[in-house]
Amino acid sequence: MKTALDVRWARALSASGPACARAAFLVTPEAEQLALQSASDNSYMQLSASYSLQRAQNQHRALQRALSTELPVVSFAGRSETPDDLFPNNVFATRPGHLILGHMRHRVRQREAERADILAFFRHLLGYGVADLRHQPGVIELTGAMVIDRARGLGFAGLGERCSEAGAKAFAEELRLQACFCAPLAAGEYHMNVVMSVLAGRLLVICPDGLADPGDAERIAACYAPDVIYLSSAQKAAFAGNCLSLCPDSVWMSQRAADSLTSLQRAQLQRAGFALRAVELDEIEKAGGSLRCCVAEIF
């Protein structure tokens, strides 16, 4: 597996893997309060704002209804003692036939991987094996920390307190990726999937300000040029980088993220073959994540 980003080699890779998931699962918000422990390194959390659990639940149900128009979406009930569990993609990831458990930084999130019902769903109902990364030495918060081009087998990990190089390597090896490129995040960033996304292996959405070294953003963008949408810091703060393609011809993001896009960016999505689809998630976004964070893909 390559660890240095060879742009020419990456551009030459054929899209031989599944670009999009075959199903997804969500975990409903059930906690009355946001996770104080997580707020220590997640500047996107809005602890000073009032938080309505009922409104968050309504938005979450609307998200499931919307996503289910494209693929099967299973929902598990959240738990009050794990207030971040509505963002399951940090704790759970899959490759065909296998469920992967991430090594979470905070104890409040580590408890999520102990859920017997989610493990039983994959083990006994789907017949998946389980790969447990919780005891390997590096922290890795799965598809929050690493953005993956499944079609070409490329991983882009954002190094920081929630992702170490050792953790990224372990996750990439478990995913059977061809390459994993690690780039330090800018100060104040906690996850790579807020900074960038690769849509169906065809188009890159990225905010260069989210990476510590602007050269890293340039190298990543070169792998997809000219199919690159550059985001401003304000658009990143609106979660425009936290988007996801669940089928090859659409992209999902929150309504706030969609509203932040310019007409030129919308036209670029359309030219690339992506219909823009949005769901109102402003209450959920107070917890520090957005649409992509809510969705755990099943491959």
What is the average pLDDT across 227-251? Answer: 98
Mean pLDDT of the chain: 96
Query: At which residue do the structure tokens 């919308």 appear?
Result: 266
44-53, 163-172, 215-224, 267-276: which has the minimum mean pLDDT? 44-53
Element spanning 180, H or E: strand 179-184
CA-atom Rg of the chain in angstroms: 17
d(CA 83, CA 36): 9
pLDDT at 36 over 90: no
- CATH class for the domain made up of 7-298: alpha beta
pLDDT at 127 over 80: yes
pLDDT at 49 over 90: no
First to last CA, the chain: 21
Asked if 183 and 220 touch (Cβ cutoff 8 Å), the reply is yes
What is the average pLDDT across 234-238? Answer: 98
Contacts of 10 (CB under 8 A, 6+ apart): 152, 154, 179, 223
